[in-house]
Amino acid sequence: MEVKIGVQHAPREIVLESGQSPEEVERAVAEALAGKSQLLTLVDEHGRKVLIPAERLAYVELGEPSPRKVGFGAL
């Protein structure tokens, strides 16, 4: 699943492909915003952790990955 994270005072958003379910990501964001944890921690498909301070979160967008197109066929 594709996750886009906006961070305050950062010129670009963070985009990662996560193997976590949408419910798991939503729960992690809710806990970070509620103050239960000071960091939003997500894991991408390669096992790398992304840590973002909860007070710097601007937005989190959850979406489905788009299928990759291969070849030179007509669109």
Would residue 52 count as lying in a domain?
yes
What pLDDT, on the 0 to 100 scale, is given for residue 72? 73
**6 has pLDDT over 90:** yes
**What single string gives the DSSP state of each residue in the chain?**
-EEEEEETT-SS-EEEEB-S-HHHHHHHHHHHHHTS-SEEEEEBTTS-EEEEEGGGEEEEEEEPPPPPP-SS---
Would residue 70 count as lying in a domain?
no
Would residue 72 count as lying in a domain?
no
Mean pLDDT of 9-28: 91
Mean pLDDT of 33-45: 92
Which CATH number does the domain housing residue 50 bear?
A: 2.30.30
Mean pLDDT of 50-61: 94
Would residue 73 count as lying in a domain?
no
Would residue 39 count as lying in a domain?
yes
Would residue 69 count as lying in a domain?
no
Q: Average per-residue pLDDT in the chain?
A: 88
As for how many domains the chain has, the answer is 1
**66 has pLDDT over 70:** no
pTM score of the predicted model: 0.77
